[in-house]
């Protein structure tokens, strides 16, 4: 599949939440741990899209509550999960918003995965790479243009 061109500079702030038309997949420990055609994505200026999976589209038993918490001024307080599959564990590989703000209520109990902590993330069959840096969880696909926040010198934007 060919993804349509998108410019991260044109994404909104405050961020927008929208449904995803493409199939989303996450592979870890040699297993397909999440697959959905009902995903959601958050788009924010200079960020790669962050993709969220409905809980029923994540393999049973692969997520366990993990350490750490963070707060997003738009979405609320995030909870983190450790991912285990195929004899491998990735601490803090996923997160979600158990009680999101009203504007992002559709994210309740959905799960996002850090592309850099799993074997593969795909959007419509296209392999995604991690958003630069260690904090942001967006998935960078070849159709994106513009500077994606997260690398050195961009985190304070």
2 against 146, higher pLDDT: 146
pLDDT for 112 equals: 99
Q: What sign for the dihedral angle of Cα 135, 137, 143, 144?
A: negative
Distance CA 140, CA 137 (A): 10
pLDDT for 79 equals: 97
How many percent of the chain have pLDDT more than 90?
90
Distance CA 129, CA 46 (A): 16
For the cut 80, the answer to whether the pLDDT of residue 157 exceeds it is no
CB atoms within 10 A of CB 132: 19
Structural domains in the chain? 6-137 (2.170.150.40)
pLDDT for 146 equals: 97
Joined tokens for residue 151: 């690398």
For the cut 90, the answer to whether the pLDDT of residue 28 exceeds it is yes
Position 138 confidence tier, pLDDT thresholds 50, 70, 90: very high
């Amino acid at each position: 599949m060919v993804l349509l061109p998108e410019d991260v500079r044109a994404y909104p702030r405050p961020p927008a939440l929208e449904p995803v038309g493409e199939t989303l997949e996450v592979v870890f420990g040699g297993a397909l741990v999440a697959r959905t055609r009902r995903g959601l994505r958050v788009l924010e200026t200079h960020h790669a899209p962050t993709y969220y999976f409905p809980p029923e589209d994540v393999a049973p038993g692969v997520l366990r509550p993990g350490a750490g918490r963070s707060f997003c001024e738009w979405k609320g307080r995030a909870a983190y999960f450790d991912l285990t599959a195929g004899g491998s564990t990735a601490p803090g590989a996923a997160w979600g918003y158990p009680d999101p703000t009203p504007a992002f209520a559709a994210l309740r109990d959905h799960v996002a995965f850090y592309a850099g902590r799993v074997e593969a993330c795909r959007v419509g069959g296209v392999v995604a790479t991690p958003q630069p840096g260690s904090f942001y969880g967006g998935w960078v696909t070849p159709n994106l243009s513009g500077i994606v926040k997260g690398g050195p010198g961009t985190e304070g934007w």
